[in-house]
């Protein structure tokens, strides 16, 4: 198989490299802006994020905005979908370019996943969910049926989204939060049930 360049020599990049190797990539290298990083997961770091060498390319950066910018920069490159062999994915699931599905994830029938998404370890997405571009479904998060998650949203570790819920773009759902109704305003939501977190002026 052709070379894979992974942009982002981080913990996330290490996991992506392992999945890439399990997907039969044998020539894996990294690109990262930190000049002090020379090796990541046993692979060489050869360039910065905006001057990646030739080959298939995967953007392994957790920040959705940076991931989007770099995927646009490299839009003319092959941006593969990487799936861990232990993930369980229904036959009619759609997954966009540059997305990764990690170990133990379960994705049920009728799900549509956009480009540049992270479906993290042991997360589950039930039937007919729509996951828009650049979404991160964190470790152990659970989405019930017919959930829509807007572009750039982050669903925190162990969070639960009840069925038939719509989440607007650029929302962060805190770890362990339980979302039981639609979220129509961007921001950070925490707790059980999840509520928007506000910053209060305590200087008075």
Catalytic residues: 127
C-alpha of 48 from chain center: 21
- From its phi and psi, is residue 163 left (phi > 0), alpha (psi between -120 and 50) or beta? beta
> Do the beta carbons of residue 68 and residue 86 sit within 8 Å?
no
Structure letter (DSSP) for residue 170: S
Nearest CA-CA partner of 75 in 49, 94, 46, 97: 97
Tell me if the bond preceding 21 is cis, omega within 30° of 0: no
Q: In what order do the strands lie in the sheet with 178-179?
A: 88-89, 106-107, 124-125, 142-143, 160-161, 178-179
């Amino acid at each position: 198989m052709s070379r894979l360049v992974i942009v982002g020599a981080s913990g996330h990049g290490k996991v992506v490299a392992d999945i890439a190797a399990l997907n039969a990539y044998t020539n894996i290298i990294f690109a990262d802006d930190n000049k002090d990083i020379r090796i990541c997961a046993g692979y060489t770091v050869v360039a910065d994020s905006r001057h990646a060498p030739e080959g298939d390319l995967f953007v392994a950066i957790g920040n959705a905005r940076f991931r989007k910018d770099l995927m646009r920069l490299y839009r003319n490159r092959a941006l593969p979908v990487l799936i861990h062999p232990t993930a369980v994915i229904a036959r009619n699931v759609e997954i966009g370019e540059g997305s990764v599905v990690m170990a133990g994830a379960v994705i049920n029938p009728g799900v549509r996943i956009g480009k540049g998404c992270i479906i993290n370890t042991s997360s589950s997405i039930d039937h007919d969910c729509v996951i828009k571009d650049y979404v991160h479904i964190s470790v152990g998060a659970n989405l019930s049926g017919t959930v829509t998650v807007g572009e750039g949203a982050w669903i925190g570790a162990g969070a639960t989204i009840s069925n038939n819920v719509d989440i607007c773009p650029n929302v962060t759902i805190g770890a362990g939060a339980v979302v039981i109704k639609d979220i129509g305003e961007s921001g950070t939501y925490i707790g059980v049930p999840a509520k928007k977190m506000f910053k209060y002026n305590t200087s008075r």
